[in-house]
Structure 1
């Protein structure tokens, strides 16, 4: 009824030789995840810097870039170009996105026991939450 399988499975590890495909440790995987979350947070921070320049955002961007460079073994992150266009609603969305990314980075940093990255992520969460709370709620006129 069914034709038998004639070739070895590419997923089989029964042969005992599993060195033919790369493996990463849990720590390496967490480093990759953390660097990704921090790089995404850096991109949003750079975008926010273009819409509302501040010394706090400049300092945060530099600290984020340093952490990403450290996690990527010396490879500097790609930086976003500053875009001065943006209305209040866009800035609010960017702060919300940055808060979410900082939260994700905090979870991974805690799993990895990376104190410096965890502190930075927590500080950024607080800063973006405060920025969101200061903005008046935008409501649709009905």
Structure 2
């Protein structure tokens, strides 16, 4: 009534069987995810630097680029050209959210330097948003 299975399943779930495709460890996956969040935060930081240049944003961009480079095995992250027209408040909100995501992943993989940097950026963007929140 049923034809027997002739080929090996592509979804091998049997313990002890070697698969033909590479797997990443949980730590490698978290490294990739953390590098992505920090790279996105770097892009937003670069945009903010274009709108309101400051020593704090410059230092943050350098530290973010260093962390992304470390997580990507020495590959230097791409830097964006700042936009000419953007809402600084929206950029600070986005940066705050990205720093929060990076903090969660950094804490998950116990990466102290990335966690500290993400927490500092969250504080900086929160304080940048505080005057605008008080005005409304």
Superposition TM-score, scaled by structure 2 size: 0.89
1:54-95: per-residue Cα shift (whole Å, max 9, x none)? 111111000000000000010010101122323xxx211110
SS of the equivalent of 1:10 reads coil
Please, which runs of 5 or more residues in structure 2 have no aligned partner? Answer: none
**What residue is the counterpart of 1:93 in the other structure?**
90
SS of the equivalent of 2:12 reads coil
Q: How many residues are aligned here?
A: 136
Pair 29,132 (structure 1): closer, same or farther in 2 beyond 3 Å:
same
- State whether structure 2 residue 64 is matched by structure 1 residue 64: yes
Pair 21,129 (structure 1): closer, same or farther in 2 beyond 3 Å:
same
SS of the equivalent of 1:135 reads helix
Please, which runs of 5 or more residues in structure 1 have no aligned partner? Answer: none
Pair 16,112 (structure 1): closer, same or farther in 2 beyond 3 Å:
closer
Superposition TM-score, scaled by structure 1 size: 0.85
Alpha-carbon RMSD across the aligned residues, in angstroms, is 2.1
